[in-house]
Amino acid sequence: MNLTDTAPYNGSATGTLAITGATAAMNGYQYHCLASNSVQTNVASNAATLTVTAANVAPSFTGGQPSNQTVTAGGNATFTATASGTPAPTLKWQVSTDGGSTWADVPAGSPYSGQTTGALTITGATLAMNGYQYQCLASNSVQSNVASNAARY
């Protein structure tokens, strides 16, 4: 197909083709330049492939928020959260022991596991933990510390 200088192309009859507003649908398109003179016509350059990557997107918790858990003393609870974004976000769980006024990273070790995954597990919950709140933070290069909803234990 011969290109003309209509959006998104500019410079179709020059040595530099500009593409403005490339879309994901254009990913993989190949382009080459045809050169002609009085000796020879339509000599093609090597093909160049257009690669369109996803735009960077801040993290969000559209896939799932943690929900409240009720367990008996000594039981186990798991809070889950699903975050999306580009690039893929890293996760970190936090706990509030004062009704959500202050938050701290969930400490490493027992009774917690999964502090940097989509599933935080509490093994052998105690009565002293009753009312603790948990939230998940998602971060990527676009935005840091986007918080999920808080869930109670």
Per DSSP, the three-state class of 24 is helix
Same domain, 62 and 97: yes
Residues 72 and 103 in one domain: yes
Instruction: Please indicate, yes or no, whether residues 128 and 68 belong to a single structural domain of this protein.
Output: yes
In a domain, 1, yes or no: no
Q: Is residue 77 domain-shared with residue 33, that is, in the same domain? A: no
Overall number of domains in the chain: 2
| pLDDT score of 29 | 94
How open is the CA angle 60-83-129, to the nearest 5 degrees?
A: 105
3-class DSSP state of 129: helix
How much is the pLDDT for 149?
A: 96
pTM confidence score: 0.71
Q: Write the Ramachandran bin of 65: left for phi over 0, alpha for psi from -120 to 50, otherwise beta.
A: beta
- At 95 the pLDDT is 98
Residues in the chain where the model's pLDDT stays below 70 = none
Closest CA to 116 of 66, 81, 152: 81
Percentage of the chain lying above the pLDDT 90 cut: 77
**pLDDT tens-digit profile of 42-78?**
898 999 999 998 889 999 998 789 999 999 999 999 9
Task: Evaluate whether residue 3 is within a structural domain.
Answer: no
Same domain assignment for residues 82 and 130? yes
Do the domain assignments include residue 89?
Answer: yes
CB of 130 within 8 A of CB of 49?
no
- Which amino acid appears at position 21 of this protein? G
On whether both 67 and 104 belong to a single domain, the answer is: yes
Cα–Cα dist 88/86, whole Å = 5
Residue 113's domain is classified under what CATH number? 2.60.40.10
Where in the sequence is the domain holding 44, given as residue range(s)? 9-49
Mark whether 94 and 27 lie in a shared domain. Answer: no
List, in order, residues 6 or more apart from 10 with CB less than 8 Å away. Answer: 17, 18, 19, 20
pLDDT at residue 153, rounded to an integer: 83
In a domain? residue 4: no
Rounded Cα distance, 135 and 153, in Å: 11
45 lies in the same domain as 78: no
